[in-house]
Every structure is written in C-alpha cells, then in structure tokens.
Amino acid sequence: MVDLTAFTKKKIFWPLVALGVLMLFNLFFTPNFFRLEIKDGHLYGNLIDIIKNAAPIMLMAIGLTLVIATKGIDISVGSIVAISAGVVAMMIGSGTTPQFPFAVAIGAALLVSVLAGAWNGMLVSRLGMQPIIATLILLVAGRGIAMVTTNAMIIWLYARPFAIIGQGYFLGLPFSIYIVAVLLFITTVVTRRTALGLFIESVGINRTAARFTGINAKNILLGVYMFSAFAAGMAGIVVCSTVMSADGNNAGDGYEMSAILAVVLGGTSLNGGKFYLYGSMVGALIVQTLTTTIYAFGVPPEISKIVIAAVVICVSLLQSRKFRSLFMQMFGKRAVQE
C-alpha cells in the first residue's frame, strides 16, 4: 500500500501537483484538451503534442540536471542545439538522397556537440571559470558557429527517412519520446546504480571536501558538461528532424531557459547537491503544458511570459518548505517537517 504521507514529502510531489492542476484547468476550460484520435495508426491530440514538443526540452533537462547538481549551470545548450542541427543538416544535404549516411551525419553532430561540452568543461574544471561565464561564451560564439556551419542560410532537408526521428511514431506515440526514455533510463541506471550519482552530488555539495575524499572533482565536472552537450546535441537532431530544416540563427533559441526552468521546477536546487531526473521530466511537461494552454487561449506573446513567470513563482513557492511552514502557521498548524 502506498504511504501517501511519505509520498507528499518527496521532491516530485509538488511538481506532480502543479502538473495535475494545469491538467485540471484544461479539463474544464480548454475544449477537447483530452480528446485523442487515431489517424493513420497514430495517436493525435493535445496530450500527444505536449509529449512530442516537450521531447527536446526533456533531453536537454536530463543533461542539465547533472550540471546543476554540481552547482553549475550551462546556458549554452540552446546554441549547441543550433550547432548540432546545422552539422547534421549540412552532412545530409538538401537532396532526396543524403550526402552521408544518416548514422555518420548524426554521429558527427553528436561528436561536435560533445567537443563543445568539453570546451565548457575545460573552462570550468581546469581554468576555474564561473560556469555562467564559461557557458555564456559558447552561448554567444555557438550561435555564430551555427551560422557559419549553415552559411547563414536555412538548410531544408528532403531526405524523408530522417523525418522519422522528429515526426515519426512508434506504437502510436511520437518516436522522439522513446529517445528521451532511452537516455533517461541509461542516465538513471548509471547515476543511481553506480557511485557516479553520489560523486556528482558530493561535488555539488562541497567540491573541496569531495576532493579530499578522493573524488576527482575536475573530471566529474568535465564529464557532466560533456554529457549535457551530448544531450543538447540529441535535442538538436530531434529539432532538425521535426521541422526538416536547420536555422543557425533561430534553432534552439530560448531553449536553455526552458530546460533550466524544467530542472528547477523538478526540484533540483541551483545550489547543487541532490538531483531529481524524473522531477526534471515532470518540470519539462509543466513548461510545455503551460505553453500549450497559453496558445489555446490565444494569450498575446507580450503577456504569455508574465503568465509563465506567475506559474513558476507559484510552483517554486509550493516547493519551498519555509513558505509552506509560514502558510500553515497562518492557520495555526504546525510547521512543515521534511
């Protein structure tokens, strides 16, 4: 039998509550929000669109969760998405027959992404640069690299098999969500079934103490930034496949904020330490559900950001033990214990 009291104390509880409230709101106020149809053997509907559109953010959030757990940040993932999309698009080309095999093009895009992550990791772990400054460099330079890669043009793709990654379906669900599931599963196993997860959390809690216990903090930092870039590179391939084009100027623009938001909403603290991969997935679904809801109500773009910010504040307050204690004390209740 599920211990509900214990479950309410888990970090993932409040993100699930926030997602549930959003779904409940749409149930009553958004017509046909939960309606699902089967067309051409695939499921169609708002819920499927949310899962499909959230896939790139989920991929980036998996990598960013580990970076943030080390008390770091990576704001260059949006630019890495553009670089990855540009590389894979240039290697496939605009013809109906790809210039290079898909595996080679995808492998090259991921390799370039990992190299970009190694650059970030070197600046942070070896040169001691602050993570936000180190990744800010690639945020700016990466967009330029993507523009150079695509010759400052939008590269359109017509090799239809490549579209399977972003537009395809398997067992009725978007193919991209299976990519998310595989990466999430592997990351969970590696970080929770080995000591690596504890090493990452130790580095985030106290890097100096971690080093004295024998943990190679520098290599841990280098590794998480490379992995974050790898995940962003996968997101870039999904984005490129979804729209069958690569736009160095706009691909992945603003994605870094959505991914960071997903991680924070999922319960992982920017102060480092414990991380919650599944919480980050719920956070990504909150961000995408909120975006879909705003579009459904036709909220003007200039107001939509304010709405998103308001919801983020509410979810963050719900996750705050201090806020919940103050709220409970207003009604004469005991402070929240965790």
How much is the average pLDDT of 38-52?
Answer: 88
Backbone angles phi, psi at 252, to 5 degrees: 75, 5
- Residue 336 clears pLDDT 60, i.e. is over it: no
Contacts of 1 (CB under 8 A, 6+ apart): none
pLDDT at position 1: 54
% of the chain beyond a pLDDT of 90:
62
- Residue 335 clears pLDDT 70, i.e. is over it: no
pLDDT at position 329: 75
Q: What are all long-range contacts of 276-280, with beta carbons under 8 Å and residues at least 24 apart? A: 276/11, 276/12, 276/65, 277/62, 277/65, 277/184, 277/187, 277/188, 277/191, 278/12, 278/184, 278/188, 279/11, 279/12, 279/15, 280/58, 280/61, 280/62, 280/64, 280/65
pLDDT at position 201: 95
Distance separating alpha carbons of residues 79 and 250, to the nearest angstrom: 9
CA atoms within 13 A on the CB side of 299: 16
